[in-house]
Amino acid sequence: MALLVQRKLPALDVREDLRAAQQNGWSGISADGRFGLFALNGFAPTIVDLANGTQRVAGADTKYIEWMHVGASGWATLVEDRRGHYAVRTIDLASGKSKQFRSKDELRRAFVLEPGLVLALQSGEAVFLESAKGERVGPALPARVDELAVSAQGVIATTAYGEATSVSLWSNRKVVAKVPALGKDGAQVFHMAFSPDGTRLGFFDDDVLRVVDTATGASVFVLKETGLPANVIGAALSSNERSIVLATADRTLTPRSQVTVFSIDFGARGAKFATEATLAELDGHPAVGPHGILVNRQLLLAIAGAESAPPAKAEKPKAEKSKAEKPKAEKPKAEKPKAARATLHLGAAQLKSLRDDCEEALALLQEHVDVAAFDGKSEARATAEKAAKALDGVMVASDIDWDFAACTLTGADPKGERVEVTKPSKKYGTERLLSDVPDATPETLDEYVSEGDQKSYKKAAALLDAGGSVRQLRLTGSKDDGYTVVLTLAGPAGVLTVRSDT
């Protein structure tokens, strides 16, 4: 029996002025396979009932969508970055009714756990918010969080990057299992997705596919060489034994891109990914869930043999401090697979300086990440500003065009052939990495760096080291104009400078 069953959808009422921009759109499919959702900046989201093709518009026009998730409980969430002011929109997929609240704090992920209750990733914390005004309900999870996923049964998966990147599984706001430290220092975790019954969690740890038991955190399947194209744009577990992955060789999706559908059966001996289909004629990012793949606005590929499981009963947390019970969702649910770009935040003055004095470097940055001004305070911003202040006035070399500036990077680090990643050496540490002479010996360092600047580097390095495993990203652009943007980061916090070799 074929794994993918093609189903044509009735033509959607798409205005002509939308067609040219559809490649920038977002799409999602609910984990129970009932609803699809399409959203495009500047226009109201469209809900599609995948059983009969009926459609409805959901609320007002969107602006600057950063994240979208379609749940199995009949709700979806959109996170919008309105020039530094974040808005979360919750949508009832059955009725099309929506609510919205705003956040002054940086907000990157949001999931409807049950009507009226949202779990959000806000400035490095996993917080519970009521959906009308965004007010907190009970305490946040007691851990720093870099990525987040939620099962249909209310189990939460979180990651925290650092010297020993790990994945924690939470229930009732307590850790119930922990995946042992992953293979490499500072490993990045992508596309976390639960199986329909919530007993398995799959994710990519850099280039490694892992599937773990959510009760114990123990690995049930590991594939170290996936053989997949470089850009994995979505993944889902259709059952406890099978994963569906969408990947492309293109760095950026366009209507002409080809996306390949791969599947892997964990139970098979010598399991490897097999090619199932090639997707074309995209009008946005294709979406994958346990029950199907939404290719575009007129084509659904249903997954044969996809499992469904009734959700556990959810208990709503109390608005008091204390030990509020962890809320749970109503129906099978999977993480919406979307490879969102990271966002680099800078001070408003530094961003203006880049625009006015170093537009080549700004264009280079925007090839890799979205760039925005800080809005509101956060622990990461405070760390970054302290490190930049320690480096105030430091001159690395005569070809440095820009002083060190505070920055925060939210989302996964950019990757590719134009990104060089360096870690501090065990011998000389972060201060040498900042100085850009990492291999200078103590005897020759004075030839390159003044005594005063050495003290500044040491002070800034101590601040960054306290924030976790340090990494340096050297970004170059598609144009060979001699510029390199250097980000030195610990977790999301760090400093940025620009090198010009021209």
Instruction: Provide the mean pLDDT of the chain.
Output: 82
Instruction: State the alpha helices, DSSP H only, in 344-400.
Output: 348-357, 359-368, 379-390
pLDDT tens for each residue of 451-474: 888 899 999 999 999 988 899 999
Q: What is the pLDDT of residue 316?
A: 47
User: In the predicted model, is pLDDT for residue 361 greater than 80?
Assistant: yes
What CATH number does residue 403 fall under? 3.40.1460.10
CA distances from 80 to 24, 254, 446 (A): 15, 22, 49
Alpha carbons 468 and 164: distance in angstroms, whole number: 9
Q: What are 234-247's pLDDT values in tens digits?
A: 999 988 889 999 99
CB count in 10 Å sphere of residue 116: 16
Q: What is the pLDDT of residue 144?
A: 85
The winner for highest mean pLDDT among 85-94, 336-345, 372-381, 383-392 is 383-392
Strand partners, 47: 37, 56
**313 is a domain residue:** no
Question: What mean pLDDT do residues 398-425 have?
Answer: 83
Query: Considering the domain boundaries, does residue 251 fall inside one?
Result: yes
With 50 as the cut, is the pLDDT of residue 50 above it? yes
325 domain-assigned: no
* Residue 17, pLDDT above cutoff 50: no
Return the pLDDT at 309: 47
User: Three-class SS of residue 11?
Assistant: coil
- Report angle CA 23, 51, 199 to the nearest 5 degrees: 85
Q: Which residue has the higher pLDDT, 245 or 313?
A: 245
For residue 339, the model assigns a pLDDT of 54
One domain, residues 291 and 373: no
pLDDT one-digit tens code per residue, 83-113: 667 889 999 998 888 888 888 888 889 999 8
pLDDT for position 38: 86
Question: How many domains does the chain contain in total?
Answer: 2
**Residues 480-500, mean pLDDT to the nearest whole number:** 88
Residue 460 lies in a domain: yes
CA gap 60, 185 in Å, rounded: 44
What residues does 495 pair with on adjacent strands? Answer: 406, 488
Using the predicted structure, report yes or no on whether residue 27 has a pLDDT greater than 70: yes
- The answer to whether position 439 is within a domain reads yes
Q: Are residues 296 and 362 in the same domain?
A: no
3-state helix, strand, coil in the chain (%, to 5): 15, 40, 45
335 domain-assigned? no
3-state SS class at 174: strand
Residue 315 covered by a domain: no
For residues 425 and 438, is the Cβ–Cβ distance under 8 A? yes
Answer yes or no: do 198 and 87 share one domain: yes
Q: Give me the long-range contacts of 84-88 (CB less than 8 A, separation at least 24).
A: 84/372, 84/373, 84/374, 84/375, 84/376, 85/375, 87/63, 88/118, 88/120, 88/129, 88/131, 88/134
Say what the pLDDT of residue 84 is.
67
Whether residue 383 is predicted with pLDDT greater than 90 in this model: the reply is yes
- Listed in sequence order, the residues at least 6 apart from 324 whose beta carbon sits closer than 8 Å to its beta carbon are 128, 137, 138, 139, 173, 317, 318
Q: What is the pLDDT of residues 250-271, one digit of tens each?
A: 877 777 788 999 999 987 888 9
Distance CA 336, CA 193 (A): 8
Co-location of 40 and 157 in the same domain: yes
pLDDT for residue 176 = 92
Domain assignment of residue 407, given as a range: 343-500
In this structure, the answer to whether residues 359 and 450 fall within a common structural domain is yes
pLDDT per residue over 426-452, tens digit each?
888 898 888 877 666 776 677 778 888
In this model, does residue 128 exceed pLDDT 90? yes
Has residue 309 been placed in a domain? no
Instruction: Yes or no: say if 163 and 469 are a contact pair by the CB < 8 Å rule.
Output: yes
- Provide the CATH number for the domain around residue 123: 2.130.10.10
Residues 133 and 282 in one domain: yes
